A and B are shown apart, each in its own frame.
Chain A
Amino acid sequence: MRVIVHLPGLLRSDADGAAHVPVEVDGPVALRGVLDALVARHPGLDRRIRDERGLLRRYVNVFVDEDECRTIGGLDAPVHDGADVRLLPSVAGG
């Protein structure tokens, strides 16, 4: 199955400048598998979005279509063929 991962401007330098990264994965798959496939292509993205334990960083939001992943199972959230996965920096800073 094919999923499109949309990257915010802040992360594109870690993905050769790409705003959208098509990811091919064997389905059915959870969000974790999509991110694994994404960082396999662009390893520099991994530490930006997940810590060493594989947990999503607190102020990185990941939407599967319209749903922020934490509301639908986090990294175990199901992702369907053709889904749009959007990485967005949350509201943070000071």
Chain B
Amino acid sequence: MGGVMTYLLIIGTRKGLFTARSEDRRSWEVLGPHRLDENDDAGMSPVYTVGIDPHTHRLLVGTESWHFGPSVWHSDDLGRTWTEPGTAPIAFPEDTDASLVRAWQFAFGPEPGTVYAGVEPHALFRSTDGGDHFTLVRSLWDHPHRAEWFPGAGGAAIHTVLPGVLGSGERFPEAITVAMPTGGVYQSSDDGESWAPTNRGISAGFLPDPEPEFGQCVHKVTVAPDGSFYAQNHHGVYRSASPATEGWRPIETGLPTDFGFAIVAHPHRAESAFNFPVVSQEVHLPPENRLRAYRTDDSGESWRAIDAGLPEEPYFGIVLRDAACTDGAEVPGFYFGTRNGDVYALTDDEERWHRVVAHLPDVLCVRAAEV
């Protein structure tokens, strides 16, 4: 591959948006907080989700103004200038008697221009114009289970949207996998026309039936390059080649705990993934008060700590569900940010984390790409 690549990392925090650029993924130029609006209202808002469109490199940023509500901003010049559409990008239709709390997730479809937004309250929206305007996916909103989905501690939201995949070897444009607390994993094979829960094997220890058809509090699902999945549950880490046909199997043996929020699959090796354990549902702190990532290279049969380059002193900031990602590069980079405002990067050719930036506001989400 010729030329020098530039890597862009976008970081959504409790107080605004930051970006970082690097050519070697060791030293980073960090900018921010970005001024989205001249009033510093949206720009100082919590940023709960960010996205980098793989087709256009448009940046999408989901904000929630304390006073004036949620919105979606975009940049078509890698963060130099920002635009908010003149009408609300995501709005519930009048007959739903619902209103948007915030966007939790952006995901990009195989077709250029197709962007999905998972939102609170539990709903999926789809845009066909790159994220200027979104339309409610009615079939999921009208799903008979929806009345029984209740909020997790973080809210009632669809936090994971994985277009184009149903399981290993089952990639096709009409497939969509979503996940939510509490409801669990749902999949559509017909472009969102119909949905079925695919939670078999995932536990729900907080319900009378510990293995219900739906109702699980899945914290994050990540897709491996062959279309198979890893999931971090509300207690329990799982792997599935095909949720609908094979269900999920536990893979937490070897991790210090089975609780956590973030999990990131390797973009090129289906058997590899990163996990960021948290003590328990009661104790949202890193195990042993040490900041560590864990990696598997055998589909969850075993895990090892990857902590070179991370603080050796006691650390109390955890990694939230969207605060870890990969850039998907040929030699992939992996990234995570903590609630203490520290962001780290690792490249797959070195088992050492490098600090991108420290002391930001608490990090809610990160996304990265070669640009």
Chain B residues with Cβ below 8 Å from A93 are 44, 66
B282 within 8 A of A: no
Distance (Å) between the CB of B364 and the closest chain A CB? 13
Interface flags for A35-71 (1: CB within 8 Å of B; 0: not) read: 0000000011001110111010101100000000000
Closest to A48 in B: B68
Within 8 A of A (CB), among B72-109: 86-88, 91-94, 96-100
Across-interface contacts of A44 in B (CB, < 8 A): 86
- Give chain A residues whose Cβ lies under 8 Å from the Cβ of B38: 13
Q: A10-B41, A13-B38, A47-B88 are in contact. Are A60 and B68 (CB under 8 A)?
A: yes
Provide the A57-94 mask, 1 if CB < 8 A to any CB of B, else 0: 10110000000000000000000000000000110111
Check A60 against B99 for contact (C-beta < 8 Å): no
Q: Contact between A10 and B68 (Cβ–Cβ < 8 Å)?
A: yes
Q: Count residues on chain B whose CB falls below 8 Å from chain A CBs.
A: 23
Known A9-B39, A44-B86; judge A57-B97 contact (CB<8 A): no
Query: Contacts A13-B38, A13-B39: A57 and B98 contacting too (C-beta < 8 A)?
Result: no
Contact B39 A48 (CB under 8 A): no
Q: Within 8 Å CB of A52, what residues of B?
A: 88, 91-94, 96, 98-100
How far is the CB of A32 from the nearest CB of chain B, in Å? 15
A13 to B100 Cα, complex, angstroms:
22
Q: Which of A9, A51, A59 has the most CB of B within 10 A?
A: A51
Question: Please, how many angstroms separate the alpha-carbon atoms of A94 and B44 in the complex?
Answer: 10
User: What are 6 pairs between A and B in contact, CB < 8 Å?
Assistant: A10-B68, A49-B68, A51-B100, A52-B88, A52-B96, A93-B44
